[in-house]
Amino acid sequence: MNNKSFFINILGEFVLFNISIFSHLPRIKKRFAEIVKQMKRIGYDSLPLIAITSAFTGLVTSVQASYQTSGYIPMSFIGVLIGKSTMIELAPVLTGLVLAGKVGASIAAEIGTMKVSEQLDALETMAIDPVDYIYMPRIISGILMFPLLTIFSNFIGILSAFYLSVFKYNVNAYSFFSNMRDFFLPSDLWGGLVKALFFGLIVTSVGCFMGSKAKGGAEGVGKVTTLTVVYSSILILVMDFIVAALLFGD
């Protein structure tokens, strides 16, 4: 089998995998407790990591915005640039990429270990569908929590950029937020949240899918974990372009 055929087969299996996930949505109430557990694991447990990432992203954005716009636009408008770039692009994309390494790798390693130790086969022998019991709660939780984490990232990133802009670059505090408010468009916020929703689907579904393909013991688990991070990161950037082109393109 050549590389082209292999890629098409894997892509087809991945699409069918996601179709099977969403075909189990009518049973979502049955897995409510597991979904809440996974929401805590994906969302709440990721808050410190997202806070640190977003804080330094906001600081860097403030420095770069000040440097790149110096002499071109008034410093009072720096809040507009920071707000739009954070909400539309930086918060959702960086949150997705960071969680691809944390959440995606964790899911792939967990399910991969279950696969090579034949725990998934044991579930099937007990008439328990892994799609319903294992995969769906993780994917639904990712879809729900990634937008919420992106909102948190927006808040931390903009706040850290505000403090640096005010105390280092002497930007007027009132002008920073008033100009951001005056130039704010609802699409700035929900466009980023739409991206985050798709990123949540990508990271969790790729993690579950690759984990289910693990074979060969510990080495195989390590391989699918690495591939999950690589594939998720690539798909996040591809989806970022597609969503941006559809929402913000002419």
Which residues, at least 6 apart from 46, have a Cβ–Cβ distance to it below 8 Å? 99, 102, 103, 145, 149
Distances (CA, A) of 19 to 10, 14, 16, 23: 14, 9, 5, 6
Instruction: Report how far residue 98's alpha carbon sits from residue 196's, in angstroms, rounded to the nearest whole number.
Output: 12
Number of domains in the chain: 1
Give me the tens of pLDDT residue by residue for the chain, a chain 250 residues long.
566 676 788 888 888 988 998 888 888 888 899 999 999 999 999 999 999 999 999 999 999 888 877 767 777 788 888 999 999 999 999 999 999 999 999 999 999 999 998 888 898 888 888 888 899 999 999 999 999 999 999 999 999 999 998 888 888 888 888 888 888 888 889 999 999 999 999 999 999 999 998 888 888 999 999 999 999 999 999 999 999 999 887 6
Domain that holds residue 90: 3-248
> Which pTM was predicted?
0.91
Instruction: Report how far residue 203's alpha carbon sits from residue 91's, in angstroms, rounded to the nearest whole number.
Output: 16
